[in-house]
Amino acid sequence: MNILLIDDHFCAREGVACLLKQIFPLLRVFEADNFEDGLAVVRETPLNLVLLDVQLPDKNGLAGLTELKAVFPGLCVVMFSGLDDRELVFEALRLGAMGFIVKTVTRQAFIEALRDVLSGKVYLPPSAVGPRAVNQAPPAADNGILAISDPADLGLTPREFEVLSWLVQGKCNKQIATQLGIGEQTVRNHLRPIFQKFGVARRAELLVKVFQQGIVFGRPGIGN
């Protein structure tokens, strides 16, 4: 497995590289302290994951993400930042990132985030799917937040609504299936019309759409 770290802070790179090697003993870690050097590594090396800092000396991280995805659309890129900003998180997802890891994250959360994205899931920091997004009544009605309790308001069936409300909490298909007492294939069958109704093709795009629209959910129900 090959992972590239693009970060201009030496101590941050060394610390992450050391942790990565502890987690994945057979891992090869490549490092770059600016975007152009990182891009050169991407062009020459087959990579499983790129951890890309949001703030680089030679290029804004989001601009770098856009360039990477344009040239290597299948590349798994995760933004890595000291900034814990919800709008920044979803802008990164919109541009094609598979996740957003905040540098203040705990060791265990960092490990779980990497395992999520390497298995094809989207990782979101707690700030993106925390109290503002789920399990909390919305503030005043003029703040752009839309509290949804009726699935019909989104054009969804009750079961599709349940699946979506678990998905926005970062649950994978297996976890959603367990929560609802249904099979993983059934979850996938419900996701297809949800994607169609929101006009998206990927989970990340769906999450972006939901949060851009300011939709909040109550605590999801558990299936029979």
Using one digit for the tens of pLDDT, what is the confidence trace for 145-196?
A: 455 667 787 888 999 988 988 887 777 888 899 999 999 999 999 999 999 9
> 59, 93, 128: which is the final residue of a domain?
128
Q: What is the mean pLDDT of the chain?
A: 82
Same domain, 205 and 164: yes
Same domain, 37 and 70: yes
* C-alpha torsion sign, points 169, 77, 59, 101: positive
Same domain, 67 and 159: no
Same domain, 84 and 55: yes
Same domain, 24 and 73: yes
* CA-based end-to-end distance of the chain: 41
> 75, 104, 128: which is the final residue of a domain?
128
Q: Is 93 a domain residue?
A: yes
CA distance 47 to 188: 28
SS3 100: strand
Q: Is 134 a domain residue?
A: no
Q: Is 224 a domain residue?
A: no
Same domain, 117 and 189: no
Q: Is 25 a domain residue?
A: yes
CATH number of 88's domain: 3.40.50.2300
Same domain, 117 and 6: yes
The tens digit of pLDDT for each residue in 21-69 reads: 888 888 899 999 999 999 999 999 999 999 999 989 999 999 999 999 9
Looking at residue 36, its pLDDT comes to: 95
Same domain, 22 and 77: yes
| Total-model pTM | 0.67
CA distance 223 to 180: 4
3-state helix, strand, coil in the chain (%, to 5): 50, 15, 35
Domain holding 30, by residue range, is: 2-128
